Structure 1
Amino acid sequence: MQAVAACFLRYTRPGQSVVVGFSGGLDSSALLHAAACQAKESAIELSALHVHHGLSTNADAWADACQRVCKQLEVPLEVLRVDVPITTGEGVEAAARNVRHQALAGHSADWILLAHHAGDQAETVLHNLLRGAGVRGAAAMPESRGRVLRPLLGLPRDALQAYAEFHRLAWVEDESNADCRYTRNFLRHKVFPLIASRFPKAGQQLAAAASRFSEVDSLLEDLASLDLRGSPPEFPMSLGLFRDLPDTRSRNLLRAMLTWHQVQPPDECRLNEFVRQLRTTGNDRHPRIDLARYSLWCKAGHLHFKRQD
């Protein structure tokens, strides 16, 4: 509750609206309860959004449970039914996460509250590093980005469970959370217990490292802004911007551009090779890279970008 109150004090103003991403699970149940307790004191207009993926046979029951909790807390709830595309090449886990984020991003509230905690942060750092992400991936999740706030990032999941049990909260259990075919569940149930047996503070150390990487990432974004040399951060962009910079700053500029356009850069190997082609290819060649959510290609001395529908 103190973490939520401090987050409201840092970012919100009286009279603003805040929506909680509410799955009905332990983490978001603890967050919603704490936010409901603090909303009146902070003069915040609080609501909740439950994204109904329909991927589980229990999905309707979860939505009903969320309705009961919100009615008890006197928090307005919107249940949004969505379709999760399974042919994007991202996998069901990533596709569902993207749809959920899009649903929250489309909400009209001034602020969006998510229930990620220190354990989620540590898992995200390790996951991103293992899949070849760079500094931004290692920075994982910030407390604040745009309208999104994550007030529980400094708390271990044990603290959330203790809070929920103390306040006798009810929550639902998603059976897919035990399915180790999903990467994050594999890390949570198989990898982290093994690491923690040798390094008991691994979770805290990874979360702390994420904070330091986040500072570095902010500095690299500042450098990319300078390297645009007054050009707007928009596509198409001149290939000359890349060719006039050292390799490392060319790669940093492309990473920043993709981040500013709200897509994830490719893994380091593919990004490095693509930037090498941008810097060295002749006008008769047209380097191209196609990913699940967007495409990049060269034409007429410019780098083009298109988001996939």
Structure 2
Amino acid sequence: MANSRKSSSITILEYVESILREQVTRRDHLVVALSGGVDSVVLLHLLHTLSRSMAFRLSAVHVEHGISAYAAQWSDFCQDQCNALGIPIQIFRLKVKKAPQVSLEAAARQARYQVFECVQADYIVLAHHQDDQVETVLLQLLRGAGVKGLGGMPVVRKLDSAGAIRLLRPLLEVSRETIMQYARQHYLGWVNDESNDDTTFNRNFLRHAIFPRLEQRFPAYRETISRASHHLGEAAHLLDELAEIDSKRAMTAGNLHIESLRKLSFPRAKNLLRYVCSQHDVIQPSTVKLEEILRQLFTAAADTKLHLVFGEMEIRCFKGLVRMQSKHAQPEITAPLVWHGERHWVLESLGGTIECVQQEGAGIKRDKLVEKPVTVRLRVGGERFQPDCKRPRRSLKKILQEALLPPWERRALPLLFSGEQLVWVPGIGVDCAFQAMPGESGLMLTWRPNEFN
């Protein structure tokens, strides 16, 4: 076992069981990320043993990245291991290629996590162990990471902020040597990834060239570095709690008030921006980039139309509000999108869905709507609209300005037409001529972007 006070007196099976009982309930579905290496093979064996007494569902997923010449053999090995234990397995075959400014290792990891998002599971269970944790913390330190990065990998976290799938790492306090002992004791077989010996990879360089010498001088380095990462993880959690407090004071409906941001100290404002970025599941901007963004926000005029882009995120300012959102290309429609009565109308080109619910005496008068072809279009200018029957028909541009809708959102709104008549504008309402009266069959429409940021 790992040499921590919690686990030194119990077996690896007992330790993993204690972790599972803190997180997993009966009938939860656990999916092991099975690479075929000794760590994941041992994890599979442990969970198979525990599934009998803990009554959770167990299956496996293997991602064949297509990088190694032996990839197909590893897939066959994983299939055979699961067949022998009676465990269902899904195998995904990919062709991962190195992207500009992204290492092959990072590209493979990104592809692997995209696969995890497609798996039906309560938990994806990963075989990261204590040595992996130490390597991660040292690499983060060498990259100049902050408190969150130096906190290392958590035992459990959500796969993404919106989904219900969680990542579970029950071996994080277990050493690599303990895992090897368990594999030998139970006569388990595994595959060896030849890339693990390639010291051109930073992680392998630490593993093969640095840690053996470090162990000679500091035999307990694994435990002490793990303990330090726990302390930093707690500090990171406290910083998130502080950011949550600040976000409640400084943000409304996902928008950040510039004046409220300026009332925070510079480090505290940076912490808030990092927190907001983390809520969008995007790579954090570098410290230099983050500080530059903050300086521009601190000095922006009240009527600024600041537009900043970093990675897959963008920041826009409008009337004293800051919107941080995923970067999207401006939507285009080459021809009107035709409605065929769908209750759940997915508009892929616009990045969202129109939900349609029938309701008597409210929304759009259905019979009048379908007298002519029903389509969705984007603004081209010159549209006129009358959502209030007590006021005259007016320019849609003026109505959207009065609604304080930012310009970039105005250009992306899906406008519903019946023939050439504008019927419905998301967030504004239904044209007077099409509003359902009491006793008439109506349609209530809701526009739901794929992401609300």
Assess same fold via TM > 0.5: yes
1:188 to 199, 207, 215: 207
87-96 vs 164-173, which deviates more?
Answer: 87-96
Describe the superposition over 1:159-187 as per-residue Cα deviations: whole angstroms up to 9, x where unpaired: 00000111111111111111122221122
Pair 1:78 & 2:98 matched: no
Aligned twin of 1:244: 263
Q: How far does residue 123 in structure 1 lie from its aligned partner after superposition?
A: 0.7
Pair 1:66 & 2:78 matched: yes
Q: How far does residue 149 in structure 1 lie from its aligned partner after superposition?
A: 0.9
Aligned twin of 1:306: 326
CA distance, structure 2, for counterparts of residue 265 and residue 226 of structure 1: 20
Corresponding letter in the other structure for 2:238: L
- Superposed, 1:32-181 pairs within 5 Å as 32-146=44-158, 147-181=166-200
Aligned twin of 1:290: 310
Rate the CA distance shift 1:37–1:205 in 2: closer, same or farther, 3 A. same
Q: How far does residue 214 in structure 1 lie from its aligned partner after superposition?
A: 1.1
Corresponding letter in the other structure for 1:296: E
Rate the CA distance shift 1:163–1:217 in 2: closer, same or farther, 3 A. same
* Contact 2:243 2:271 survives alignment (8 Å): yes
* Aligned residues between the structures: 307
Give the number of the structure whose residues are more often helix, by fraction.
Answer: 1
Give the number of the structure whose residues are more often strand, by fraction.
Answer: 2
Aligned twin of 1:213: 232
* Contact 2:35 2:62 survives alignment (8 Å): yes
Q: How far does residue 255 in structure 1 lie from its aligned partner after superposition?
A: 1.1
Aligned twin of 2:222: 203
Q: How far does residue 289 in structure 1 lie from its aligned partner after superposition?
A: 4.2
Pair 1:265 & 2:277 matched: no
Rate the CA distance shift 1:249–1:196 in 2: closer, same or farther, 3 A. same
Rate the CA distance shift 1:251–1:68 in 2: closer, same or farther, 3 A. same
Rate the CA distance shift 1:133–1:158 in 2: closer, same or farther, 3 A. same
TM-score, normalised via structure 2 length: 0.64
Q: How far does residue 233 in structure 1 lie from its aligned partner after superposition?
A: 8.5
TM-score, normalised via structure 1 length: 0.92
CA distance, structure 1, for counterparts of residue 225 and residue 328 of structure 2: 33
299-308 vs 246-255, which deviates more?
Answer: 299-308
CA distance, structure 2, for counterparts of residue 202 and residue 274 of structure 1: 38
* Contact 1:24 1:172 survives alignment (8 Å): yes
1:29 to 13, 38, 41: 41
Rate the CA distance shift 1:241–1:72 in 2: closer, same or farther, 3 A. farther
Rate the CA distance shift 1:277–1:149 in 2: closer, same or farther, 3 A. same
Corresponding letter in the other structure for 2:290: L
* Contact 2:37 2:192 survives alignment (8 Å): yes
Describe the superposition over 1:36-81 as per-residue Cα deviations: whole angstroms up to 9, x where unpaired: 0101110011000001111111110000000111111111110012
Rate the CA distance shift 1:303–1:183 in 2: closer, same or farther, 3 A. farther
CA distance, structure 1, for counterparts of residue 31 and residue 118 of structure 2: 11
Structure exhibiting the larger radius of gyration computed from Cα positions:
2
CA distance, structure 1, for counterparts of residue 227 and residue 253 of structure 2: 33
**Identical residues among aligned pairs (%):** 37
Rate the CA distance shift 1:308–1:92 in 2: closer, same or farther, 3 A. farther
2:275 to 253, 256, 261: 256
CA distance, structure 2, for counterparts of residue 220 and residue 233 of structure 1: 20
CA distance, structure 2, for counterparts of residue 119 and residue 90 of structure 1: 24
Q: Secondary structure at the match of 2:54?
A: coil
Structure 2 unaligned residues grouped into runs of 5+:
1-12, 159-165, 330-453
Rate the CA distance shift 1:201–1:14 in 2: closer, same or farther, 3 A. same
CA distance, structure 1, for counterparts of residue 252 and residue 271 of structure 2: 13
* Contact 1:17 1:110 survives alignment (8 Å): yes
17-26 vs 184-193, which deviates more?
Answer: 184-193
Aligned twin of 1:18: 30
Q: How far does residue 86 in structure 1 lie from its aligned partner after superposition?
A: 2.1
2:244 to 209, 225, 229: 225
229-238 vs 80-89, which deviates more?
Answer: 229-238
CA distance, structure 2, for counterparts of residue 46 and residue 20 of structure 1: 8
CA distance, structure 2, for counterparts of residue 306 and residue 88 of structure 1: 20
Aligned twin of 2:296: 277
CA distance, structure 2, for counterparts of residue 215 and residue 32 of structure 1: 30
